[in-house]
Amino acid sequence: MAENIKADRFQRLIQIGIALSAERDINRLMETILLEAKGLCNADGGTLYIRTDMDSLKFEIMRTDSLNIAMGGTTGKDINFPPVQMYDPETSEPNAKQVASAAALTGESINISDAYETDDYDFSGTKKFDEQTGYRSKSFLTVPLKNSQNEVIGVLQLLNAIDSNTNEVIAFSEDIQPLIEALSSQAAIALDNRQLLDGQKRLLDSFIELIASAIDAKSPYTGGHCQRVPELTKMMAQAACDSNEGAFEGFDLNEDQWYELHIGAWLHDCGKVTTPEYVVDKATKLETIYDRIHEVRTRFEVVKRDTVIDYLKALIENKGPDEELRAKMEQRLAKLDDDFAFIAESNLGGEFMAPERIERLQEIGTIEWTRTLDDRIGISFEELKRKDQFPAPPLPTVEKLLDDRVDHVIAREEANPDEAENNPFNFKMDVPKNKYNLGEVYNLSIGRGTLTEEERYKINDHIVQTIVMLEQLPFPKQLARVPEYAGGHHEKMDGTGYPRKLTKDEMSLPARIMAIADIFEALTASDRPYKPPKKLSDAIKIMSFMKKDAHIDGEIFELFLTSGIYKEYAERFLDPMQIDEVDISRYVG
């Protein structure tokens, strides 16, 4: 009979070990450890302590069946008892009087048959509890939990072993103690592994959020974008899981898939770390690291002074009446002022550069001025290399007021992305011939906005860099779709997006959700200094046109509206002045 009981216990221990290794939720894991230990030795109560970084034992799980006490773990009831200190806070002496801390300090199990009959440990708190509840705490088995490095990471304490025949409280037998110690060893390893995994996950999350925050902090033009898009993405994904209509029928995400989407959303713009700030923040057409309008202004000043000098020379040389010469000078100066005002206005990029405006710009550019100083000294090695492509003219030299010179062109150094061997990710973007073109007429001739074709490509290239960066990371199987989720938010349902020109059928539902989240956040963001934030109704109207043009997923857009997420997000993240009434019936159905 005894042999059968022992065999059953060993079998049970094996089953418990398998269950512990399979449990992923740390609260359920700790709860399982305590409940299974109680069950093995038929204990009435027990407590699981976890060692903190401050060398204290924190109450994590408490159970006392006869008093109907269940706290911590999955119960949702907090344990408000102060932690047991392993060392005296004032003297730093080891706390050997508390049985839990003594077990943690020595790494040895402590088996007490009757707490009221021992003077080795301080049970005053236990006795006070007994007085208040009418309970009788008697036998204790306190076992340290040691990880694979033999470090104590917690303490398992069992209370009042119950004789299964008489229902009386008895001491924990010498036969049961090794089983509890074996269970504690298994439990410690399982708990330590789970804590390590949870710690790695927290580190990964923190690192990802750090990258996203750094990208947002890098430029005021992105603001809190990298932090808000994940919130909106998760709200929309939850609505898709809750819905069972159309494209969302049967759609659901398990714990791993939620985490996969979480990481993809947080990293969706990680490639922006490669985008130069002066391109992202380019506020005027001539701006690079500084606004070159100041150079142009100085040239105009030179031409104006030359005009005055020419007038004075003509006056000295008696080349005509003073009134006639002065009128000619003033007319020339007024035209130069008007021409510069036109250049300055064009530099802002607020007005469309119609053909006649570009023609005037080119005409102004032909005005000549004289340079007498060497422009190849005191400059960077790279700029000098570009200038050395043509011989230096003898000084003084006449130059155009605005010019597109050979040294304005910065060649593309990397391999041609269009070639198959250089494009393993199947990107389908129109790549400009040059990396940058700083030509003055070229930049001032930009039709709309302030970005050249090359600069627009560089900004769009952030999504290429995002995919390349993420594809190089060794994501585990359960996170394999992170690059897809992060890299698809600039694709369009009709295949005209970038960087892969994917169609709706080629994109997963979470990737299509993120595309809408990215657009809506960008339209409504109030921390973009280059534009005022859109009102809620205006943002929805713009997105309805995008739906009509098959640029965004129509079913997800309608879910975004009918679920009320647009309003919920607005109340959390938009300025109250942006929130107005939206008649969604105009856009649904």
**3-state SS track over 113-131:** CCHHHCCCCCCHHHHHHHH
> Do 508 and 259 meet the contact criterion of CB atoms below 8 Å apart?
no
Give residue 160's region: left, alpha or beta (phi > 0; psi -120 to 50). Answer: left
How much is the pLDDT for 4?
52
Question: How would you classify the pairing of strands 434-437 and 409-411?
Answer: antiparallel
How much is the pLDDT for 22?
61
Specify the CATH number for 2-198; select among 3.30.450.40, 3.40.50.150, 1.20.1250.20, 1.20.1080.10: 3.30.450.40
Helix (H, G, I), strand (E, B) or coil at 298: helix
In a 13 Å sphere around the CA of 310, the CA atoms on its Cβ side amount to 14
The answer to whether 2-198 and 219-270+478-586 have equal CATH topology is no
How much is the pLDDT for 454?
95
Q: For residue 550, which of 514, 504, 584, 502 has the smallest C-alpha distance?
A: 504
Residue 56 belongs to what H/E stretch? strand 56-64
Q: For residue 557, which of 570, 573, 545 has the smallest C-alpha distance?
A: 545
Domain ranges of the chain: 2-198, 219-270+478-586, 293-422
How much is the pLDDT for 1?
46
**Residue numbers of the chain with a pLDDT score lower than 70:** 1-24, 219-223, 415-422, 527-531
Residue 508 belongs to what H/E stretch? none
pLDDT per residue over 396-411, tens digit each? 999 999 999 999 999 9
How much is the pLDDT for 561?
95
CATH architecture of 219-270+478-586: Orthogonal Bundle (1.10)
Residue 158 bridge partners (DSSP): 46, 141
Contacts of 224 by beta carbon, 8 Å cutoff, 6+ apart: 216, 525, 527
Tokens of 63: 């159970």
Residue 84 bridge partners (DSSP): 57
> Do 365 and 400 meet the contact criterion of CB atoms below 8 Å apart?
yes
Inter-axis angle of helices 509-524 and 565-573, nearest 10: 40
* Residue 584: how many other CB atoms lie within 10 Å: 16
How much is the pLDDT for 416?
56
Report CA 567 to chain centroid distance, whole Å: 23
C-alpha distance across the termini of the chain, in Å: 73
- For tokens 């030179």, what's the residue? 302
Helix (H, G, I), strand (E, B) or coil at 137: coil
Report CA 100 to chain centroid distance, whole Å: 42
How much is the pLDDT for 9?
59
CA-to-CA dists, residue 348 to 73, 363, 516, angstroms? 61, 19, 30
